[in-house]
Copies of this chain bind each other. A is one copy, B any other.
Amino acid sequence: MSEQSDTISERLQNAMDGLTRAERQLAYSLLENYPVSGLGSITAIAQNAKVSTPTVARMVQKLGFSGFPDFQAALRREIEARISDPISKYKSWAEQAPDEHILNRFTDAVISNIRQMLTHIDITSFEESCALLADQSRALYVVGGRITRSLADYLFLHMQVLRPNVTHIQSISNAWPHYLLDVNKDDVIVIFDVRRYENSTLKLAEMAAERGARIILLTDQWRSPVHSFADHVFCGRITVPSAWDSSVTLLLLLETMIAAVQERTWDSSRARVEALEEMFDRTRFFRKFT
């Protein structure tokens, strides 16, 4: 019954002529601060418009809703559509394939994960973390888990180019207590820990915290227990239509951080990057072109 393609705002406008004095007063009140003005209880709305509750009930029925709750539900859907994305509405990602193809389903999920991560991210924390990563007076350690070791490796790789004094602590190894010996107060540790949180990682975080290290944690939406030791926590959503979790959100965050650190350190890192380029050219490790 309540299903028409018009927005409630349009419906109100269109119906305006057929409305009575009190109803019109109500309609204006609703449009006043649309659409949030319609969110309270029927009583609240009535009081707000200075009409009685029956008037509200009658009017929404005139608009074609089965009752006030029906009206309000429609309003909520409108708000939802308005608040959530403008972007993901694109039809299919891989146009050759049907919507249900894994490529499209997976990508939908990832895009939604990205949006969710970004709406919850704390910009100040992000900036501070980048500053910590860029601060060459602090040694930098990177730790990953079973799955996240690839991410840790990726960060390590890039940081190593940008600055000296970067260490990748291979969590598989039993040697990590040795690394901890070198961790000083105010050094920075980036820890990756997603679900199936690892005991050894937690232990390491605890000990590092005791030594006064600054901890930056990249985890999933459920937040690894490491977060209680961490100075900065970033949660990427990792759920996708798969038996596995997705690391895309965390990689995106990581790359953005790397880009931000690069900007901050460009004065000092430029020399390193250029030296590296030169070494590659000398060793003919890479093809000169194509």
Residues of A participating in the B interface, judged by any CB pair closer than 8 Å? 9, 13, 16-17, 24, 28, 31-36, 39-40, 76, 79-80, 82-84, 86-87, 90-91, 93-97, 101-104, 106-107, 110-111, 114-116, 118-123, 126, 146-147, 149-151, 153-154, 157-158, 196-200, 202, 221-223, 225, 228, 240-244, 246-248, 251-252, 255-256, 258-260, 262-263, 273, 280, 284-287, 290
- State how many copies of this chain the complex holds: 2
Q: A114-B107, A153-B153 are in contact. Are A79 and B86 (CB under 8 A)?
A: no
Whether A40 touches B153, Cβ cut-off 8 Å, given contacts A202-B287, A228-B17, A243-B262, is: no
Q: Secondary structure at chain A's binding surface: helix, strand, loop or mixed?
A: helix
Are A280 and B243 in touch, CB under 8 angstroms? Answer: no
Contact of A34 among B103, B119, B241 (CB under 8 A): B119
Structural contact, B290 and A197, CB atoms closer than 8 A: yes
Decide if B126 touches A103 in the complex (CB within 8 Å). Answer: yes
Q: Are B252 and A248 in contact (CB under 8 A)?
A: yes
Query: What residues on B are CB-neighbors of A147 within 8 Å?
Result: 154, 157
Please determine whether B106 and A119 come into contact, CB atoms closer than 8 angstroms.
no
Question: Complex Cα distance A149/B39, Å?
Answer: 40
- 12 of the cross-chain contacts (CB-CB < 8 Å) are A31-B120, A32-B116, A33-B80, A33-B84, A39-B39, A94-B118, A96-B121, A150-B157, A153-B153, A242-B259, A243-B262, A246-B255
